[in-house]
């Protein structure tokens, strides 16, 4: 912008010029004088134009450069997916090398090779009972047999011993039964014999002996009429 003192100088020059032209008692101006006046007027106009141009000139702000932004790339790590391998279970073979008779509601199998009696319901084992069958002697071994369990005989006395929970099976040299271990009575107390033979070796006169607690369970299960299979006596094994 033009400062106040600059305008003041311009105004004084203009006034002096006007007065010099209007009131000076001169004869007709000479060509040189006209030239001087014109030069002065021209100079005044140039000064005024210069000052006006300076006043009207507005500094142009230089735009600040906007720094270019370098894009930032974020690498996303995608873990590789390990395929899940689902193992297909192979059905295990039945643990029994014989038919458990899944077609029957109840079934009994006595294996003289291992001295165990297996009780099944619809082919499922409900009780594995260690037993002891007949000794490997001509008049004592237990015959192989298949049939149905007969009636309940309860407690009986034979060979100078007692036995409880007896169930009749079939007739051989004598009656073949399933019953508890034999025992004697001493002061009113039952003393059982050959418990260590159960599930281990034959020890009877032909019957199938089982522990008294298993005999009580067997009676409660009520086996009468249930199909039963007794295997070969395996005499050569037990002799």
Q: Which is more confident, 229 or 35?
A: 229
Tell me: pLDDT of 59 over 50: no
Tell me: pLDDT of 195 over 70: yes
Mean pLDDT computed over 17-41 = 52
Percent of the chain whose pLDDT exceeds 70: 61
- Model pLDDT, residue 91: 43
Tell me: pLDDT of 102 over 60: yes
- Model pLDDT, residue 21: 55
> For the whole prediction, is pTM greater than 0.75?
no
- Model pLDDT, residue 1: 52
- Model pLDDT, residue 165: 98
**What is the DSSP code string of 128-186?**
EEEEE-B-SSTTTSPPPEEEE---EEEEEEETTEEEEEEEEEEESSSEEEEEEPPEEEE
Cβ atoms of residues 155 and 163 within 8 Å: yes
- Model pLDDT, residue 154: 98
Phi-psi region at 82: left, alpha or beta (left = phi > 0; alpha = psi -120 to 50) = beta
Alpha-carbon distances, residue 107 vs 149, 151, 160, 228 (angstroms): 10, 16, 32, 6
Mean pLDDT computed over 187-206 = 97
Q: Domain 107-238: state its class.
A: mainly beta
Kindly report, residue by residue over 111-125, the tens digit of the pLDDT: 999 999 999 999 999
- Model pLDDT, residue 10: 60
Burial of 166 (0-12, 13-18, 19+ CB in 10 A): buried
Mean pLDDT computed over 63-82 = 48
- Model pLDDT, residue 67: 46
Cβ atoms of residues 158 and 165 within 8 Å: no
Instruction: Give the span between the Cα atoms of 201 and 220, in whole angstroms.
Output: 26
Place of tokens 């319901």: 121
Compute the 3-state secondary structure of the chain and give helix, strand, coil in percent, each to the nearest 5: 25, 25, 45
Q: What is the mean pLDDT of the chain?
A: 79
């Amino acid at each position: 912008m033009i400062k106040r003192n600059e305008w003041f100088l311009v105004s004084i020059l203009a006034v002096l010029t006007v007065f010099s032209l209007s009131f000076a008692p001169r004869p007709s101006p000479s060509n040189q004088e006209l030239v001087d006046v014109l030069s002065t007027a021209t100079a005044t106009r140039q000064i005024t134009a210069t000052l006006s141009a300076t006043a009207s000139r507005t500094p142009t702000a230089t735009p600040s450069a906007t720094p270019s932004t370098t894009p930032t790339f974020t690498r996303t790590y995608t873990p590789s997916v390990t395929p899940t391998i689902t193992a297909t279970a192979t059905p295990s073979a039945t643990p029994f090398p014989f038919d458990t008779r899944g077609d029957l509601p109840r079934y009994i199998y006595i294996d003289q090779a291992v001295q165990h009696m297996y009780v099944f319901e619809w082919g499922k084992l409900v009780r594995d009972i260690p037993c002891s069958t007949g000794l490997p002697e001509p008049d004592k071994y237990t015959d192989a047999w298949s049939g149905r369990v007969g009636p309940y005989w309860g407690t009986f006395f034979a060979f100078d011993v007692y036995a409880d929970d007896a169930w009749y099976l079939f007739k051989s040299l004598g009656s073949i039964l399933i019953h508890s271990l034999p025992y004697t009575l001493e002061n009113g107390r039952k003393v059982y014999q050959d418990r260590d033979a159960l599930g281990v070796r034959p020890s009877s006169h032909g019957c199938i002996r089982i522990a008294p607690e298993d005999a009580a369970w067997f009676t409660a299960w009520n086996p009468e009429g249930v199909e039963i299979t007794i295997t070969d006596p395996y005499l050569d094994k037990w002799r």
